[in-house]
C-alpha cells in the first residue's frame, strides 16, 4: 500500500512539472483519484464508488492538425489505453483492442456507437513509427499523441511507469475498471457489456 501510494505521488509530481492543465478544481474530491490497494493490477469500481474524470484533450496521432477530447465521446463508454509501439505487451494486445472497437461500434445508442477505444500514445517521440504501427495492424480507433503522458494527470494520477494501462470509463466518463497489465478482448468486453446495462 505504502509503495503504490508513493508511486502515485511521484507520478503526479512528475506530471505537474510538465504543466498540464485539466478542467478540474485542484484538490476537489468530486473527481477520480487513482489508488491501487495492495499493488493490485486489476481494480474495479462499483457504480456508487465512481467519480468522473475531468475533460482532457490532445493532438491526434493520425491527424496532427486535429485535437481529440474525451468530451467528443459524450454518453459513450470509453476504453482508454496508454500504449507505445516500443512496448511488447502493447503490441500483443493491439488486435484485442481492435476487436473491442469493432464490438463497441457494432452497437448503437441513439444513433451513436455505444463506445470507443481511445489510445494514448506515450514515450514514442518518432510519430511516424507509431502511425505505421497502427496502419500495419489495421487499427481504426483514434489515439492521442502524448509522448510525456501528460494526460495521466487528468486520469487521477494513473502511474506513468506502467505501460500498457487500460482504464474503462462508463457512459458518464467515470472509471469503472483499471488494468495495469496486458488485456484481452474478453477482459474488456465483459466490463463494457455490463456497463451498457447501467442507467
Is residue 165 within 8 A of residue 178, CB to CB? The reply is: yes
Cα 10 from Cα 142, distance rounded (Å): 29
The predicted structure's pLDDT at residue 146: 97
The predicted structure's pLDDT at residue 182: 97
Is residue 149 within 8 A of residue 164, CB to CB? The reply is: no
Is residue 182 within 8 A of residue 163, CB to CB? The reply is: no
Copy the grid coordinates of residue 49: 464508488
Q: Which residues contact 64 (CB under 8 A, 6 or more apart)?
A: 127, 145
The predicted structure's pLDDT at residue 184: 98
The predicted structure's pLDDT at residue 31: 81
The predicted structure's pLDDT at residue 109: 84
The predicted structure's pLDDT at residue 38: 81
Q: Which residues contact 181 (CB under 8 A, 6 or more apart)?
A: 41, 42, 89, 164
Distances (CA, A) of 65 to 59, 81, 104, 138: 7, 22, 26, 22
The predicted structure's pLDDT at residue 163: 96
The predicted structure's pLDDT at residue 30: 79
The predicted structure's pLDDT at residue 111: 86
The predicted structure's pLDDT at residue 13: 35
Domains of the chain: 2-196 (3.40.30.10)
The predicted structure's pLDDT at residue 17: 31
Each of the 199 residues of the chain gets a pLDDT tens digit; together they read 333 333 333 333 333 333 322 222 233 457 898 877 788 999 999 999 999 999 999 999 999 999 999 999 999 999 999 999 999 999 999 999 999 999 999 998 888 899 999 999 999 999 999 999 999 999 999 999 999 999 999 999 898 999 999 999 999 999 999 999 999 999 999 999 999 988 7
* pTM for the model: 0.84
Is residue 78 within 8 A of residue 71, CB to CB? The reply is: no
Amino acid at each position: 500500500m505504502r509503495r503504490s501510494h508513493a508511486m502515485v505521488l511521484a507520478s503526479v509530481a512528475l506530471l505537474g512539472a510538465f504543466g498540464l492543465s485539466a478542467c478540474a478544481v485542484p484538490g476537489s474530491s468530486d473527481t477520480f483519484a487513482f489508488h491501487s490497494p495492495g499493488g493490485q493490477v486489476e481494480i474495479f469500481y462499483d457504480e456508487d464508488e465512481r467519480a468522473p474524470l475531468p475533460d482532457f484533450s490532445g493532438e491526434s496521432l493520425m491527424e496532427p492538425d486535429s485535437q481529440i477530447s474525451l468530451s467528443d465521446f459524450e454518453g459513450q463508454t470509453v476504453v482508454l489505453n496508454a500504449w507505445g509501439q516500443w512496448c511488447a505487451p502493447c503490441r500483443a494486445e493491439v488486435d484485442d483492442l481492435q476487436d473491442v472497437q469493432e464490438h463497441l461500434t457494432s452497437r448503437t445508442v441513439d444513433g451513436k456507437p455505444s463506445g470507443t477505444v481511445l489510445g494514448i500514445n506515450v514515450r514514442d517521440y518518432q510519430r511516424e513509427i507509431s502511425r505505421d504501427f497502427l496502419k500495419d495492424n489495421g487499427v481504426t480507433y483514434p489515439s492521442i499523441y502524448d509522448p510525456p503522458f501528460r494526460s495521466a494527470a487528468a486520469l487521477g494520477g494513473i502511474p506513468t511507469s506502467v505501460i500498457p494501462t487500460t482504464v474503462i470509463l462508463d457512459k458518464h466518463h467515470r472509471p469503472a475498471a483499471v488494468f495495469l497489465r496486458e488485456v484481452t478482448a474478453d477482459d474488456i468486453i465483459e466490463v463494457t457489456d455490463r456497463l451498457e446495462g447501467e442507467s
